[in-house]
Amino acid sequence: MSLQLGEIAPDFTLDSTEGPIELHDYIGDHWLIFFSHPKDFTPVCTTELGAFARQKPAFDKRHTKLLGLSVDPVSEHKKWIKDVEDVGGTAVNYPILADPDLAVAKLYGMFHPKADPKLTVRSVFIIDPQKKVRLTLTYPPSAGRNIDEILRVLDSLQLTDGRKLTTPVDWRPGDDVIIAPSVSDDDARQLFPEGWRTLKPYLRLLRFSSTQH
């Protein structure tokens, strides 16, 4: 199965390091970063879990929960967490799901047997409070993730959500945003009376923050 953007994230219940978790209930009215790990006690994953834990305050600020998944059982997760905390210097402060039967890994397209017949790939999903998939990223088992990029895209999604805006290449909070091409100039004047800069008829830049409207 391959999830597409805008689809409702399939619900499931799995055991975790913090007890059984039902996905939709866990999300509640939050955003969610859901990410998979190929296997416990692997070096890249150990660095990633610690990095997510260190960045949890940044996700909390964005009303966003974290949820990890690995194919080993909870008993192994709890042993592995000690290594993560030792390497990362931070307590693991979010749950890690146990998916030994690969049920959720296959449901979410995290298992790519042509890449590795035994391990899940390194996937990331951003899921919004309506339980819709808003971003998917798939890394090979060998490549660690960039958490700053995940935060950057989350910021973009939250800023533009429900607004007629998009964000340009390498956008960071505070940078100019783009008025969506579907918005006419007449409508844009109503939506953005402060004005904008026109680089091309279809490329109109605007300084905008989420506190403006």
Active site residue 67: no
**Do 45 and 38 form a contact (C-beta atoms < 8 A)?**
yes
Q: In Å, what is the CA distance from 181 to each residue of 164, 191, 200, 201?
A: 9, 14, 11, 9
Helix (H) or strand (E) segment spanning residue 104: helix 103-107
Give the C-alpha separation, 66 to 60, whole Å: 9
Of 27, 45, 69, 150, which residue is the catalytic one?
45
Q: Residue 42 in contact with residue 71, Cβ under 8 Å? A: no
Count CA atoms within 13 Å of residue 190 on its CB side.
Answer: 6
Asked whether 196 and 210 are in contact (CB, 8 A), the reply is no
CA 60 to chain centre: 13
User: Which residues are tagged catalytic?
Assistant: 45
